Structures are given as C-alpha cells and as structure tokens.
Amino acid sequence: MLYTGVHSFDLLRFLTGCEVTRVWCRTVRIMTRETEDNFSMTCELNNSSLVATIAGSRAMSGRVGLIDLAGARGHLLADHVHGFVHLVRGTERLALPVPFPVPTVRETLGTFARALREGTSFPITIEDGLRAVAIVDAAYRSAECGGEGEAVRGFSGGL
C-alpha cells in the first residue's frame, strides 16, 4: 500500500474533496514476501453521503488501481493504472473521457523545479502527502487486526 496504494488514496481525496476518516482493509501476499501485493479497503469519508472502496494489486505481472465511489448522483468506477472511468446511474453506464497518460514522475519533478525557480507554491502540499501516508498507516493497522475499522489519525479539520 505504501508503494502503490498511496497514489489511489491521494486520488480519492482529490476526486472527492473529502478526507478519509476511517478504513477497513485486508491485504494479501501472492507473489512477494516482504510486502503485500494485493489489498482491498473500504473508506469512510467526512462526507457521509459518499461510500468509497479502493483496491490495488501488483501481482500476476501487472498492476491494478481501482476506485469505486458511490454517491447520490451516481456511482464512479475507475482504474488510474488502466486509464478508465465509468459513471453508473441506474442501469446506464457511461464511459467518461480520460486525458492521455503523461509520465507523472517527470511532470511532477518539472513542476517542483519550476516552483523552486519561480518561488511559487507547490501544487501538492506537505499536508497532502502527510494525509495520504496517514491513510496508509490506518490501512496497515486495520489489516493487522484482520480488517477491523481503524481511524485515520491526525484529522479533525486539519493536521
């Protein structure tokens, strides 16, 4: 989760504008010995009208980064690794356009260097990074307890 899932956790925050307050997580080791290579996590958000599930895998010679988000106006099914998003409303499923993939590490480093040169703020804040890692921490604690719910520490409106 720390290597790949953290990106999904950050993406969930970006898509919803909400904070993850509690998680229920299970992990599995299929191909790796040192770290988990599959996880599934249900997230409680500070907007109780939304329900979110995140699943990730880096086993079987591939990767998966699923986000399943349900709310009053529809159900969003997405995979940031495979580049698809579907909006489900009732019995209708609509494929939403996804921008062409870009090399994110290169783009992030370029943005970071530009901000340093120009003295502007970074688009991804330290607080964003801390929040994503706090979700990882709660997910690991939940997995260690057999999937019991764990609060994301450090939140009550801020860090």
What domains are there in the chain, each with its CATH number?
A: 5-151 (3.30.360.10)
Does residue 20 register a pLDDT over 70? yes
Query: What is the pTM assigned to this prediction?
Result: 0.86
> Which tokens belong to 112?
């970071």
Quick one: angle between helices 126-144 and 5-16, nearest 10? Answer: 120
Q: Minimal CA–CA distance to 152: which of 124, 121, 130?
A: 130
Segment 80-130, tens digit of pLDDT = 889 999 999 999 999 999 988 888 889 889 999 999 999 998 888 888 989
Provide φ and ψ at 89, rounded to 5°. -135, 115
Contact assessment for residue 112 and residue 122, using Cβ atoms and an 8 Å cutoff: yes
Contact assessment for residue 159 and residue 130, using Cβ atoms and an 8 Å cutoff: yes
Contact assessment for residue 92 and residue 77, using Cβ atoms and an 8 Å cutoff: no
